[in-house]
Amino acid sequence: MTCNSSFVFSNAYLNYHFHSDHPFNQKRVVLAKELLEAANTLEQHEIIAPRLATDEELALFHDKAYIQAVKKASSGKMSADEGFEFGLGTEDTPIFTNMHEASSFLVGGSLNAVDTVLEEKSAHALNLGGGLHHGFKRKASGFCVYNDGAVAIKYMREKYNVRVLYVDTDAHHGDGVQWAFYEDPNVCTFSIHETGRYLFPGTGNVNERGIKEGHGYAFNLPVDAFTEDASFLQVYESALTEICAYFKPDVIVTQNGADPHAYDPLTHLCATMTIFEKIPLLAHEMAHQYCDGKWIALGGGGYDIWRVVPRAWAQIWNVMKTGHPKTGNIPDKWIKQWQPQAPVTLPDTWHDDPAIVPEIPRKAEITEKNAKFLLSLLKYTKNKQ
């Protein structure tokens, strides 16, 4: 299925930059874009520019005092104690010059993605600069200053009055977006992530289901550390299919962290590129089944920026545009361009050799534990239908 899709991008995304040693590196967005161009999958007319989100748009989710604090920090006028109150100036989220403008640009990219889809200019839109799902109403967290996903969903609710399904496949729990809509029955959140026993932010338990009118519209699937492709996909596909049937969304927003991969330095999951082909394929299928194709995809985590993120994120676009992922060899042009800068050997195929995943002694136990969490989630959706 070939679909009209839009790719949100600007080199200004590189301005969201904490410091040279920080694991969050937006060069990965450029690497993904140029991989697509080298593969002749992305054309210039499909690229749309982001914009600065206005203060009023940011305030759809963020506290106005927090927005002012980010502006103050951006100009170097905030003390360490004052910054700590807002989660700014920490090891995870250090302050950098013009932080407000750089962060607002990522949010504006997601808002432009929303408009192009909900005004039916494109069936799908991809903003790889977005997906900063840990930002809170009045606090930065986990590399995230402004939460573009939460702002974009608030924007959709106010401007278009649609029911939104937010699907988060980052290895870290999508906490900021979940809590933003924990009381809202018109926004359903689903996060599959590594269990918080060992990983930031430590939330995302299966019993986090929403409160008040939002009870029953938050879903979490915390998979065990060292989960591999087969178990991940089995529980993910079953859960998402059931949740879509239960909620029947008008639009789907996906956050596509690439950090469940076995190479990722910050997580403990053992996935390969196989899941990053199936995740967008299922989103594409569900969007066409329930939402007339309306699908907005965001970036997210992913800290092996050379071997993993470009391929994983390029496959989202490949599925959006053509209905299927790329196979075979990575273009030589892309490898020759970037290998001199890369500290690791760049992959030469879209797929991974299964041998990159070490033998996991607890594989059967992990698979069983993940299946039990799935049963708990499925029981809940069936009870609510």
Among 134, 172, 261, 284, the one annotated catalytic: 134
Those residues with Cβ within 8 angstroms of residue 335's Cβ, 6 or more apart along the chain or in another chain? 346, 348
**Minimal CA–CA distance to 249: which of 219, 272, 277?**
219
**Minimal CA–CA distance to 160: which of 247, 50, 251, 248?**
251
Residue 62 a catalytic site member: no
Tokens 């689903």 belong to which residue? 190
Instruction: Report the distance separating Cα 221 and Cα 18, nearest Å.
Output: 31
How does DSSP assign 253-272, residue by residue? EEE---TTBTT-TT---BB-
Q: How many alpha carbons fall within 13 Å on the CB side of residue 108?
A: 19
Distances (CA, A) of 65 to 52, 72, 82, 101: 19, 10, 12, 16
The answer to whether the beta carbons of residues 280 and 326 sit under 8 Å apart is: no
Enclosing H/E stretch for 76? none
Sign of CA dihedral 263, 267, 268, 271: negative
- The 3-state DSSP composition of the chain as helix, strand, coil percent (nearest 5) reads 45, 10, 45
**What amino acid positions are annotated as catalytic residues?**
134
